[in-house]
A = this chain, B = another copy of it.
Amino acid sequence: MRILRSVKVMQKITTNLRKRGKSIGFVPTMGALHAGHFSLIRQSRKENNYTAVSIFLNPTQFGPNEDYRRYPRNLKADATLCKKTGVDFIFNPARNQIYPKGYKTEIKIDKLSDLLCGKFRPGHFAAVATVVNKLFNIVEPDTAYFGQKDAQQAIIIQRMVKDLYMRLKIKVMPTIREPDGLAMSSRNNYLSASERRDAVVLYNALETAKTMIRQGISNPSKIILTMRKIILKKKSARIQYINIVDLNELKTVEKIQEKVLIALAIWIGKTRLIDNAIITPARN
């Protein structure tokens, strides 16, 4: 396994692999790797000759009051685990490699960027789309892998790739969960023991919603009210949003008739956690 810090060297390597007809799978990450990332890496290994993982804690996608400074960093542990999992390349560029002096280009996915999490994190998804676009052009993968846990991110990246005719496939893999149901996230590291116990309410609320929809309840307000009640039973929990939206425009649905995305962002103490489920209603 090689660790690359230079855009030019990374580009040269992937260009050569492509010339030799080798396929490249790519897993972009911000480090602090967990079982969710490794499920993506394993999928990439299955489907490609080579697997590249980027570890880049992208500063532009954090708001001024967000957790950029305290976000967990542990390249050494990440690298050890990547090596064990059979990763071929870690791309770990310095900030000025990705944002050299004078950069001015930003990619906006109109509206999609401003809804759900985007409402509370202005600029976040434009920053994500922009850095991912750069990484795709640097690594030139055949397929890139994303987790369903970041549902909005996955939808935005898929939209960008489609709209710009980028030459790669996007695969979105299921959310990996702790035994009690909590979605794997680097931010789970922030939780105290009691917060960790409370954090399962995100999953429990989603499971209840799933049951209600499958039972034929099609009124989103009713479902969201039930979810709110479940979540607010925990003292450490504050709701940022719970929303039930369509999968193309991410717009709030009035009535659940087709496949919907239920997305939520919940503060557990000082930690903001997100989770989601895609649910198909029962046929009448």
CB distance from A23 to the nearest CB of B (A): 13
Using a CB-CB cutoff of 8 Å, which residues 136-177 of chain A contact chain B? 137-138, 140, 159-160, 162-167
Task: With both chains docked as a complex, state the minimum distance between the C-beta of A239 and any C-beta of chain B, in angstroms.
Answer: 28
Q: Is A7 an interface residue (CB 8 A)?
A: yes
Q: Does residue A106 face the partner (Cβ distance < 8 Å to B)?
A: yes
Contact between B107 and A111, CB atoms less than 8 A apart: no
Neighbouring B residues of A179 by C-beta, 8 Å? none
A111: nearest chain-B partner, CB-CB? B104
A7 to B164, CA, bound (A): 11
For residue A64, CB closer than 8 A to chain B, the reply is no
**Known contacts A165-B138, A166-B137; is A107 also within 8 Å of B105 by CB?**
yes
Interface contact B107-A107, CB-CB below 8 Å: yes
A108-133 contacts to B, CB under 8 A, are 108-112, 129-130, 133
List residues of A (52-104) whose CB comes within 8 Å of B's CBs.
100, 102-104
> A222–B129 Cα gap in the complex (Å)?
45
Which residue in chain B gives the minimum CB-CB distance to A97?
Answer: B165
A-side interface residues, number (CB < 8 Å): 33
Q: Find chain B residues with CB under 8 A from A162 CB.
A: 100, 103
Contact A167 B104 (CB under 8 A): no
Which residues from chain B contact A21 at a C-beta distance below 8 Å? 19
Please, which residues of chain B bring their CB within 8 A of the CB of A164? Answer: 105, 130, 133-134, 137
- Within 8 Å by CB of A11, from B103, B104, B107, B165, lies B165
Which residue of chain B lies nearest to A102 when distances are taken between CB atoms in the complex?
A: B248
**Across the interface, do B108 and A137 meet the contact criterion of CB distance under 8 Å?**
no
Q: Give the complex CA separation of A134 and B133 in angstroms.
A: 12
A24 CB, nearest partner CB in chain B, Å: 14
Q: Which residues of B contact A112 (CB under 8 A)?
A: 104
Give the residue name and chain of the B residue nearest to A137 (CB): B165
Cβ A105 vs Cβ B165 within 8 A: no
Give the contacts of A157-213 with B (CB-CB under 8 A): 159-160, 162-167
Bound: A129/B112 CA distance, A = 20
CA distance A130 to B129 in the complex (A): 14
What chain B residues lie within 8 Å of A163 (beta carbons)? Answer: 103-105, 134
Which residue from B111, B165, B166, B248 sits with its C-beta under 8 Å from A7?
B165
* B residues near A138, Cβ cutoff 8 Å: 165
Chain A residues within CB distance 8 Å of chain B:
7, 11, 15, 19, 21, 100, 102-112, 129-130, 133-134, 137-138, 140, 159-160, 162-167, 248
CB<8 Å pairs between A and B, sample of 19 = A11-B165, A11-B167, A15-B167, A102-B159, A103-B162, A103-B163, A104-B110, A105-B107, A105-B108, A105-B159, A105-B163, A106-B108, A106-B110, A107-B108, A134-B163, A137-B164, A137-B165, A137-B167, A138-B165
